[in-house]
């Protein structure tokens, strides 16, 4: 029996509504067996996976319009995985991934709420060098760069799982680590492009950050 509270919400993305079960608020916490603690997830960061952030909404909007045909897609640090739900609902070949011990269960619940077929999920530690995930054409994520170690860990993990021709889309709210991350991605032969939030994203999604895109092509 869980000791945290949840709530239901409806999120509209590109004209379609998605039902999402989330944590009630950021005061929720439950780690009776110490599993999250052993994974390095503190009580302060424990609930962050379980709410939908503006960056996640922007990423979902992007996936709602992106041409997914023939792409193998990976979402990193998916949390409630709204972007993955959108891609999955559009027929995309997507794998959602997160380090949090409850992410898989919330994903299954939300897939069922939206009457979708089962979605692939992987528990991922960015420090791992062998995951069995394989290579991807498109790697996505939102609000991932909030610890000093994250740029290096994330860039290295992406490099391991990006195909020789690949695109990476990271929606970042502006946590001041994107410069370091971009330099590391460039070191892995990715070309970088950053654009500021559009007026629509600022108004509709309360998002003031940047959309970071990295591309690598086989030489």
User: What is the model's pLDDT at position 1?
Assistant: 46
Give the pLDDT score at 199. 95
Sign of torsion over alpha carbons 97, 115, 17, 13: positive
In terms of Cβ atoms closer than 10 Å to its own Cβ (0-12, 13-18, 19+), residue 174 is middle
CA distance 57 to 72: 21
Structure confidence at residue 2 (pLDDT): 62
pLDDT confidence of residue 99: 96
Per-residue pLDDT tens digits of the chain, which is 219 residues long: 468 999 999 999 999 999 999 999 999 999 999 999 999 999 999 999 999 999 999 999 999 999 999 999 999 999 999 999 999 999 999 999 999 999 999 999 999 999 999 999 999 999 998 899 999 999 999 999 989 999 999 999 999 999 999 999 999 999 899 999 999 999 999 999 999 999 999 999 999 999 999 999 986
Q: How far apart are CA 205 and CA 53, in angstroms?
A: 9
Residues 6+ apart with CB under 8 A from 9: 19, 20, 22, 52
pLDDT at site 123:
95
> Taking a C-beta distance cutoff of 8 angstroms, is the pair 98, 123 a contact?
yes
CA–CA distance, 63 with 76 (Å, rounded to integer): 14
Sign of the CA dihedral 69, 70, 75, 80? positive
Distance CA 215, CA 170 (A): 12
């Amino acid at each position: 029996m869980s000791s945290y509270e949840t709530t239901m919400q409806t999120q509209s993305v590109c004209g379609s509504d998605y039902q999402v079960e989330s944590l009630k608020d950021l005061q929720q916490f439950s780690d009776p067996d110490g599993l999250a603690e052993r994974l390095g997830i503190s009580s302060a960061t424990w609930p962050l996976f379980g709410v939908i952030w503006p960056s996640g909404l922007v990423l979902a909007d992007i996936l709602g319009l992106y041409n997914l045909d023939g792409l193998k897609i990976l979402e990193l640090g998916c949390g409630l995985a709204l972007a993955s739900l959108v891609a999955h609902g559009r027929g995309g070949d997507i794998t959602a991934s997160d380090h949090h011990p409850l992410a898989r269960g919330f994903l299954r619940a939300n897939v069922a709420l939206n009457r979708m077929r089962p979605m692939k999920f992987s528990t991922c530690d960015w420090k791992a060098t062998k995951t069995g995930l394989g290579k991807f054409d498109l790697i996505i994520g939102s609000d991932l760069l909030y610890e000093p170690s994250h740029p290096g860990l994330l860039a290295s993990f992406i490099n391991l799982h990006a195909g020789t021709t690949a695109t990476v889309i990271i929606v970042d709210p502006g946590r001041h680590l994107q410069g370091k991350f971009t330099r590391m991605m460039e070191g892995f032969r990715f070309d970088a492009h950053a654009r500021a939030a559009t007026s629509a994203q600022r108004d509709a999604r309360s998002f003031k950050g940047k959309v970071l895109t990295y591309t690598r092509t086989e030489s």
